[in-house]
Structure 1
Amino acid sequence: MSDTLDAAPAPAADPPAARGIRAGLRPLLVRLHFHVGLFVGPFILVAAVTGLIYTITPQLDQLLYRDALTVPAATTAVDLRTQVAAAAAAVPDGTLTSIRPAATPTATTRVGFDSPGVAEDDARTAFVDPHTGQVRAVLDTFGEWLPTRAWIDTLHRNLHLGEVGRVYSELAASWLWVLAVSGLVLWVVRRRRRSRLRRTLLPEASARGRARVRSWHGSVGLWAAIGMLGLSATGLTWSQFAGTNVSALRTALDWTTPSVSAELPAASVPAPTGEAAERVLAAARAAGMTDPVAITPPEEAGQAWTVAQVQRSWPLKQDSMAVDPSSGTVLETIRYADWPVAAKLAEIGISAHMGILFGVANQLLLIALALGIIVVVVWGYRMWWLRRPTRSGATAPGGTERPGVAAVAVVGLAAVVLGVFLPVLGASLLLFLLGDALWQEYRRSRAS
């Protein structure tokens, strides 16, 4: 009697249907991780290599464009209107689009123009010595990126193939998190069954052959998994199809980055460009805005000028103000502290993805992550080579067990749902399920 009372209750068994789905899901998950990794691996490898190169672009900028970026420190300075006038003379056919006053005594002022012959979304930028008013260089820039960094950035995003090339990076970003999660599940479950915590976290030094490669592949992938998820999520915000859906979702949920109104009082009168720039900068600084800032003239006559902080390193400075250029009155202020949480997280995540959130520490972390992704992909191909179909005794990934119909249906439904928000992922996942089903049927017919 006491034995009956003291005995721990037996755990409830999973329903047969749940056990069937789980049992049928594992071989499908193994093949998904293996075959998708085999075909998507090159895209991820290219993204990792180009991303690795991108992480060192701040140092490349300083090395290649030192004369444009830096000047000797001095106690004298010319006013902003003089600097803008000098820049306009250096780009006589340009229309002013932005001004970034020197944030430090050894930095130059950047004055950007929309000019004939400049690529779409680029600017022709004059770099002006704030102490002398002399133009030190004129370069084509993309946002704040100088030519080399802009070229590498485009290489990373679309391989310089335009909109068609963006599919490559979206495919890599879409599948990176799937491969990270599926690999993590397979690795942890495999090690948990063998009660090998240390060998889960660290590679097996004593292993040989394919087991050794798999040990390094799994352990490094485990440590890099969180970083892969972060890169995938932030990378998708820039993507061609998923990025559009992300923007629409943020708009619907009011998670977008807020912006100041460009509306001016009826009594406002136009002011000369140089004078207006100096006046709006003085007004913003008097209202508490600190460097670094970017000044943006209105796109149309009769609108306010905008002054916005542009520091994307920690702590972020992203306050913005709308200023009347004729009177210097601050019309509206939006503080970064008042941004929606989702907008803040997006800004932080993107800055971390670009390696500028924590400076050199952020760069080193991205370098380690990129190298980790590269070696994980290479080890994945090494395992395939050791298990290649033409090798004697080789077995197919997932063994001979066929995935259950219920498991395929669950994954197929997930592909349809994901396809609504992540079209490239959903479409390629459906193609995988179709291809895997045809391959399994082909193997079954040959065996019979």
Structure 2
Amino acid sequence: MHAPQSTLAEPDSDVIAERRTLWRWHFYAGLFVMPLLIVLAITGTLYCFQPQIEPMLYRDRMIVADTRAPRFSQDALLAKAIAAEPRDAVATLAQIETDPTRSAEFVFRLPSGESESVYVNPYDGAVLGTLSVEHRLMRQIRNLHRGLMLGKTGELLMELAGCWTLVMIGTGVALWWPWGSAGRRAAGVWLPRLSLNGRAWWRDLHAVGGVWLAIGALFFVLSGLPWSNSWGKQFKALATSASLGYPKGAWGEAHVHSTAPGKASPEGGEHAMHGMAMKMDDLPLHQTPWAVGATVVPDSAGHAAASRVPLDDVVALAAKHGIADDYGIALPSSPTGVYTVSYFPADPQAERTLHVDQYTGRVLSDISYQSYGAIAQVISYGTSLHMGRYFGMANQIICSAISLGLAALSVTGFVMWLKRRPTRTLGAPSRPAKRPPMRAWRGGLALVGVVFPLMGATMLAVWCLDRLAFGRRSGAQARA
């Protein structure tokens, strides 16, 4: 009789040990991710509504009355903006808008190295005011979202937060999983039991809310990581080498109509930037599609003695290529520079990048969505959905609901921790006396560590710290 009893008890002890181990990893992941997730959620929600927020904040500069009068040409508006800026300021960007109630925006690089937007009334040419590009509210929110405004260190922290969120999601769903007959009941599984009290109420709210938000959180992580400064760049290079990412260059590809690039200017022209070719990500554009960020900007074939093509001709050329509204034109800033038209619309399939010779008006490079590799096409859709752009206001509301829901989960997790944490201790769940096999989980974490090396290094560090901090205690428990 004893042997059968032991055989039946063994699976139960394995399950308990496995759930205890999952709880520990969920705790460690949450402890690190929780404060950063709140920052990501709040800043992400605000940035999602940038199209509505900025015109309200800067209405005196961005919004004009629709007088139905003839509009000034882009070149005339640019001349008005140049006249309003210091003599040594350099015009770097023209933002093209056809909305009759929006002002014309031109960006200048100032002698200090910072950039400034100048807003001009398109109907009477009046300069409405200026706005710092680096210090405007939405740029600050974006910098918080991407790197806590701490430079490379902050960007790595946010990248790690995304990776550890994957661990938090996986372990959280596993802990929630309704074993046995509990799966047939909605209360406590699909709906929180609001009749509970104390920590049990918070636990139900946390677990049920977490499982409803798990898919959205997973999507946010996977669609956001390709934009990270460390792993994202490596992933982009890998996708390109496998012909699945962005075009390998603005020339030499069958699907890209272009000419071979000229050499960088010896004076440090458009291309020469720290000894490397100028990339799309280096241009002063407000937004650049992920798929073309690392492509090299070609050189104009003409020479400084030739006259520059008017900006209005570039606008007309963009219209012929199907680019009509809400796009940026990076202006040439050297004798070898080009006009770069960057169209980053809500519909990824309409994305377009044109490089135009500043002297001849010839299109040197034309990169469309169809030029992208399979991975880049998927990421383009993910980016549009992630930013709440793809299907308008509904997309913004859904993204905001998921983001704020994740922030609420962080709060409920924090409250649960406070309610169970002993005084003056970390309050981590105790390690099980028995080590469960968990081969699938170990393999999954190892795979995550390989795909995300920085994540793998921190997982190893947490595992070592865990063994050193709790190893003796666990051994005593096992002997007991």
| TM class by smaller structure | 0.7 to 0.9
2:462 to 432, 437, 447: 432
1:372 and 2:405 aligned: yes
Helix, strand or coil at the partner of 1:202? coil
Residue equivalent to 2:42: 49
Contact 1:203 1:215 in 2 (8 A): yes
Instruction: After TM superposition, list the pairs within 5 Å mapping 1:294-443 onto structure 2.
Output: 294-298=328-332, 300-311=334-345, 313-314=346-347, 317-389=350-422, 397=429, 400-404=432-436, 406-407=437-438, 415=445, 417-443=447-473
Q: Which amino acid aligns with 2:395?
A: N
Structure 1 residues 189 and 438 mapped into 2: Cα distance closer, same or farther (>3 Å)?
farther
Partners in 1 of 2:320 and 2:51 — Cα distance?
A: 31
Q: Which amino acid aligns with 1:333?
A: D
TM-score normalised by the chain length of structure 2: 0.77
Q: Which amino acid aligns with 1:37?
A: G
1:76 to 58, 70, 75: 70
Q: Which amino acid aligns with 2:351?
A: Q
Number of aligned residue pairs: give it.
Answer: 418
Structure 1 residues 433 and 21 mapped into 2: Cα distance closer, same or farther (>3 Å)?
farther
Structure 1 residues 212 and 138 mapped into 2: Cα distance closer, same or farther (>3 Å)?
same
Partners in 2 of 1:213 and 1:77 — Cα distance?
A: 59
2:106 to 106, 111, 125: 111
Helix, strand or coil at the partner of 2:34? helix
Please state how far the C-alpha of 1:183 moved relative to its aligned partner: 0.8
Partners in 2 of 1:44 and 1:241 — Cα distance?
A: 19
TM-score normalised by the chain length of structure 1: 0.82
2:149 to 156, 160, 163: 160
1:34 and 2:27 aligned: yes
Partners in 2 of 1:297 and 1:191 — Cα distance?
A: 65
1:127 and 2:119 aligned: yes
1:63 and 2:53 aligned: no
Q: Which amino acid aligns with 1:77?
A: R
Partners in 2 of 1:252 and 1:25 — Cα distance?
A: 40
Contact 1:78 1:132 in 2 (8 A): yes
Partners in 1 of 2:180 and 2:216 — Cα distance?
A: 22
Helix, strand or coil at the partner of 1:280? helix
Residue equivalent to 2:310: 276
Residue equivalent to 1:8: none
Please identify, of 276-285 and 322-331, the stretch whose mean Cα deviation from structure 2 is larger: 322-331
2:172 to 183, 192, 208: 183
Helix, strand or coil at the partner of 2:184? coil
Residue equivalent to 1:245: 234
| Cα shift readout 1:174-194 (whole Å, capped 9, x = no counterpart) | 111221122112212447655
Partners in 2 of 1:129 and 1:136 — Cα distance?
A: 7
Please identify, of 413-422 and 68-77, the stretch whose mean Cα deviation from structure 2 is larger: 413-422
Structure 1 unaligned segments of length 5 or more: list them: 1-17
Please state how far the C-alpha of 1:263 moved relative to its aligned partner: 5.1
Partners in 2 of 1:318 and 1:99 — Cα distance?
A: 18
Contact 2:231 2:452 in 1 (8 A): yes
Structure 1 residues 131 and 368 mapped into 2: Cα distance closer, same or farther (>3 Å)?
same
Partners in 2 of 1:264 and 1:430 — Cα distance?
A: 47
Helix, strand or coil at the partner of 2:97? coil
Partners in 1 of 2:184 and 2:364 — Cα distance?
A: 65
Helix, strand or coil at the partner of 1:397? coil
Identity across the alignment (%): 31
Please state how far the C-alpha of 1:224 moved relative to its aligned partner: 0.7
Residue equivalent to 1:14: none
Contact 1:389 1:396 in 2 (8 A): no
Contact 1:241 1:423 in 2 (8 A): no
Residue equivalent to 2:189: 200
Q: Which amino acid aligns with 2:118?
A: A
Partners in 2 of 1:34 and 1:113 — Cα distance?
A: 48
Contact 2:105 2:118 in 1 (8 A): yes
Please state how far the C-alpha of 1:222 moved relative to its aligned partner: 0.9
Contact 2:29 2:165 in 1 (8 A): no
Please state how far the C-alpha of 1:156 moved relative to its aligned partner: 2.0
Structure 1 residues 412 and 202 mapped into 2: Cα distance closer, same or farther (>3 Å)?
closer
Partners in 2 of 1:30 and 1:426 — Cα distance?
A: 19
